[in-house]
Structure 1
Amino acid sequence: MKKLTYLFVLLLVFSVVAAGCGNKEAATGGNGKTTLTLFSTMSNKGERKALQNAIAEFEKQNPDIKIDANFPGNGYEDMLRVKMGANDMPDLFDTHGWSQLRYGEYVADLKDMDWVQHLDPALNQILKDKSGKVYAYPLNQAKDGISYNATLLEKYGIKPPNTMDEFITALETVKKKSKGEVAPLWIPGGENGNIAQVFDQLATPQLITAKNKNYAKQLEKGTFNWSNYTPLAETMAEMKKKGLLNEDVLTAKVSQATELMAQNKIAFTFVGGSLGPDATELNPEVKVGTVPVPAIHKGGTQSWIGGERFTLAAWKDSKHLKEAKKFIEFVSQPEVAKKIAEGTSSASALTNNKTQNYYSAYYDKYSDIKVEPYFDRKYLPSGMWAVMSSTGQELLAGSLTPKQLSKEMEKEYKRLSKQ
């Protein structure tokens, strides 16, 4: 029995040592190279290509470093939560708006890097804290609004809307003039988060940007009356009832957006990013525009919804922190930063390079419109995005009324705020 126990211990020790050697070999690529793991939330082909091109150039200039890029898509958050629980984070990862609240204890401070002095001040509150710590490098900057088929709007004599009333009138006009052949507002609700995206962007004009309807302090203090959220749910339910949304709103996928836009089957959508250039590449006769989120209340203002689009943070406990920071330094070089921003059809997050992309003419046209932070990132506790998604889906499925939706939001808001 003692011999068997001794043999078992030897085998266990051998397996641990072997595993350690295997991990070391994996970290060095088995050929003397240092391998960095990188996880990103980039979801479409154009975005990934822009980052992968930068990675290829970095590896060419640094042949002793290899970068293993991963794009988990909808599984990103769940995968990163598991890695946080195991304290085994990627060497480089996207903080997707949660650099401080969710990932703060895992990221290295980047404040000593040269690019920090050129960071757009609009991103300070998201990427810096009061002590001066810099949590992540922004690969680009979002200016989310509503994408629209400029070709169709011109055909139907519709001007890009400035207010919610104008927006709904535009949707009704599309439905009438297209005889139901075009989705007035197309939402890919078959994937988590896309319905939440609509609610999140419209929550800002509903609850923040109108002086007489500004509930920012109440939301921050936890005293917000959630009945003020109900009108937004009522608007979405009314759109569904009037047939102003795509019939497959609960099953449609983001991957369908490019082809449908290229076929002139979509008039408006909250899908952004490389939708425009990708659709025009498929059909050069189709032009996609973008307009700021419309004002909802009288006296309210239009607004872009934004912050960082994609980021790179370095895991503070990485065995290859030096190499990880070296890659961040590389992508922050003006010429590389410009290529990535333009390749993702977004504005640069740095002030020392000006980008030109598919939507530049629209950004210039609305250059006086303020960029407001994503509603959930500023005013809601972590975890509410999933609640916005699930309640929005239930509303459009008819299993929740607008009032019930608001009550569910309130309940989850209070529960998650205590965690």
Structure 2
Amino acid sequence: MKRKLIAAIGVAGMMVGIAACGSGSDKGGEGKSDAGGDKTLTVWVMDGSAPEAWIAEVNKEFEAKHKGVKVKVEVQQWNGIQEKVTTALSEDAPPDVLELGNTQTAGYAVTGGLADLTEDKAELGYDGWNKGMLTSNELDGKLYSAPWYATNRAVIYDKAIFKKAGVTPPKTRDEWIAGLKKIKASDAKVQPIYLSGQSWYVYAGFVWDEGGDLAVKDGDKWKGSLASPEAVAGMNFYKELQSYSTAPKDKDEATPQQSTDVVPKGGVASWIGLGWEAGGAIDAMKKAGKTADFGYFPIPGKTADKPGSVFFGGSNLAVAERSANKDLAKEWLALAAGKDHMAKYAEATVGALLPNNDSAQFAPPAGSFAEAMVKSAPAGAITPVTPGWANVETAPNPIKDYMTKVLKGEDAKTAGEEADKVITERINQE
């Protein structure tokens, strides 16, 4: 998840209230690797992922259980990290524990660079992990990492505009569209929803709602599936939503940046975004002398009993296969991702991240972004778990190009068939 989370979350003061959880090991003093003198356990975390006070407390507890062991935390930058991790995992002295983006983990696992944690499931709290987050940690039936944190999108809306149009937060897709129609009819100068044409993570959720996926397993290979009836239905719904927006059809949500370049200028009734984006918009409006009054609701599903599917962006924690301190590394991972410290982690990050264990979630304040995010969590998912998926996202992203073609009038199935050729070629390249 390529965001400086702690810095970004700092501007999102309205987001509070998610307690994260895993299952800490009780075997902290039994690690075999701490015998025989002083040792250093090296941990790589990404810039913005680990609050200093929080990780200092984790390390203090760990070092107290392992006399002579010191934990060295090295903060890495997202820019260029894939190449840096690939190189490190191939060397004889890699970092012992690494934070990995959830869509990147499978690519590292297939190279043999990550330790197999399948036999350590109980100590790591496997049975309690959120199923949507769990997916990215496994490959071919084996466990290669533990989920650490995740976040997802929700609908952010202007309360005053909704009230003026007589619209309340919808529970279903039909109610959502009906509300956008009322807003459009009430004020021609207002954009009912800002939705760029290439917001493919949002589109993926609609495909998952239909029971489809962006790519599917085909024997020992993978193939694109945008031409499937499910993906076509998802795209057609996206097109209907996008018809209520004046956002460009050939841009994604960051070009322009919707939260700081578009929303603060006014005239936007709603938009789909992450918590840090909501905070960014609030901050930008404050600097412009305006007051933001946002409400939040989960992306609606097809029926009221289930919210719409959402993409989980987040990170996992893994142990390097070539670690000289593998047992210690596993114990540190279990402690950091365990119940007690994850609860403190959620508090330190202002409650803007989802826990790796659903049972640990408590009800956040009513009306907060966190509340909407938590309600969506059971419907969280990620992109296809295969090393070749990274090739699909490489520019030019065929999913983005496909979406633009459909929004500009091409038939969704025909455009999907063309995109599937590119996806199939790329996804099978490792």
- TM-score when scaled to structure 2? 0.64
In the alignment, residue 272 of structure 2 is paired with which amino acid? F
Question: Is 2:313 the partner of 1:304?
Answer: no
Of 88, 93, 105, 2:99 maps to: 93
In the alignment, residue 421 of structure 2 is paired with which amino acid? K
Contact conserved, 1:102 with 1:382, CA < 8 A, in 2?
no
Equivalent position of 1:347 in the other structure? 354
Equivalent position of 1:328 in the other structure? 333
- Taking structure 1 as reference, are residues 195 and 56 closer, same or farther at Cα in structure 2, changes over 3 Å only? same
Equivalent position of 1:414 in the other structure? 424
SS at match of 1:292: coil
Q: Which ranges of structure 2 fall in alignment gaps of 5 or more residues?
A: 1-37, 64-68
Question: Is 2:204 the partner of 1:204?
Answer: no
Structure with greater helix percent = 1
Question: Is 2:176 the partner of 1:167?
Answer: yes
Equivalent position of 1:271 in the other structure? 273
SS at match of 1:185: coil
Contact conserved, 2:45 with 2:73, CA < 8 A, in 1?
no
Contact conserved, 1:38 with 1:68, CA < 8 A, in 2?
yes
For 1:118 and 1:227, locate their aligned partners in 2 and report how far apart those are by CA, in whole Å.
Answer: 33
Equivalent position of 1:226 in the other structure? 227
For 1:241 and 1:320, locate their aligned partners in 2 and report how far apart those are by CA, in whole Å.
Answer: 56
Q: CA deviation at 1:269?
A: 3.1
Q: CA deviation at 1:337?
A: 0.3
Computed over aligned residues only, the root mean square deviation of the Cα atoms, in angstroms, reads: 4.6
Q: CA deviation at 1:67?
A: 0.9
Of 278, 292, 297, 2:299 maps to: 292
- Taking structure 1 as reference, are residues 236 and 129 closer, same or farther at Cα in structure 2, changes over 3 Å only? closer
SS at match of 2:143: coil
Deviation readout 1:82-130 (Å, 9 max, x if unpaired): 6667798654121414544652532223443634256326255543568
Q: How does 1:46-61 map to 2 (within 5 A)?
A: 48=48, 51-58=51-58
Say which one has the larger Rg. Answer: 1
Q: CA deviation at 1:158?
A: 1.9
Equivalent position of 1:392 in the other structure? 400
Contact conserved, 1:196 with 1:388, CA < 8 A, in 2?
no
Number of residues of Structure 1 aligned to a counterpart in Structure 2 = 364
Q: CA deviation at 1:406?
A: 0.8
- Taking structure 1 as reference, are residues 185 and 391 closer, same or farther at Cα in structure 2, changes over 3 Å only? same
Equivalent position of 2:125 in the other structure? 116
Contact conserved, 2:275 with 2:369, CA < 8 A, in 1?
no
Q: How does 1:105-144 map to 2 (within 5 A)?
A: 105-110=112-117, 111-112=119-120, 114-116=123-125, 119-120=128-129, 122=131, 123-128=133-138, 133-142=142-151, 144=153
SS at match of 1:257: helix
Q: Percent identity?
A: 14
- Taking structure 1 as reference, are residues 315 and 164 closer, same or farther at Cα in structure 2, changes over 3 Å only? same
In the alignment, residue 371 of structure 1 is paired with which amino acid? A
For 2:362 and 2:50, locate their aligned partners in 1 and report how far apart those are by CA, in whole Å.
Answer: 14
Q: How does 1:28-67 map to 2 (within 5 A)?
A: 34=40, 36=42, 38-40=44-46, 48=48, 51-58=51-58, 62=63, 64-67=70-73
Contact conserved, 2:260 with 2:280, CA < 8 A, in 1?
yes
Question: Is 2:110 the partner of 1:68?
Answer: no
Equivalent position of 2:259 in the other structure? 257
- Taking structure 1 as reference, are residues 121 and 273 closer, same or farther at Cα in structure 2, changes over 3 Å only? same
For 2:200 and 2:371, locate their aligned partners in 1 and report how far apart those are by CA, in whole Å.
Answer: 28
Equivalent position of 2:7 in the other structure? none
Contact conserved, 2:249 with 2:404, CA < 8 A, in 1?
no
- Taking structure 1 as reference, are residues 245 and 162 closer, same or farther at Cα in structure 2, changes over 3 Å only? farther
Equivalent position of 1:184 in the other structure? 193
SS at match of 1:340: helix
Contact conserved, 1:118 with 1:352, CA < 8 A, in 2?
no
Contact conserved, 1:139 with 1:312, CA < 8 A, in 2?
yes
In the alignment, residue 64 of structure 1 is paired with which amino acid? K
Higher relative contact order (CA 8 A, sep 6+): 2
Q: CA deviation at 1:326?
A: 4.8
Q: Which ranges of structure 1 fall in alignment gaps of 5 or more residues?
A: 1-31, 43-47, 209-214
Equivalent position of 2:109 in the other structure? 103
- Taking structure 1 as reference, are residues 217 and 96 closer, same or farther at Cα in structure 2, changes over 3 Å only? closer
Equivalent position of 1:17 in the other structure? none
SS at match of 2:199: helix
Q: CA deviation at 1:200?
A: 1.5
Q: CA deviation at 1:256?
A: 5.5
Q: CA deviation at 1:34?
A: 4.1
In the alignment, residue 396 of structure 1 is paired with which amino acid? T
Deviation readout 1:162-207 (Å, 9 max, x if unpaired): 44444344344445545435572244x8xxxx722122222112x4
Equivalent position of 2:391 in the other structure? 383
SS at match of 2:193: strand
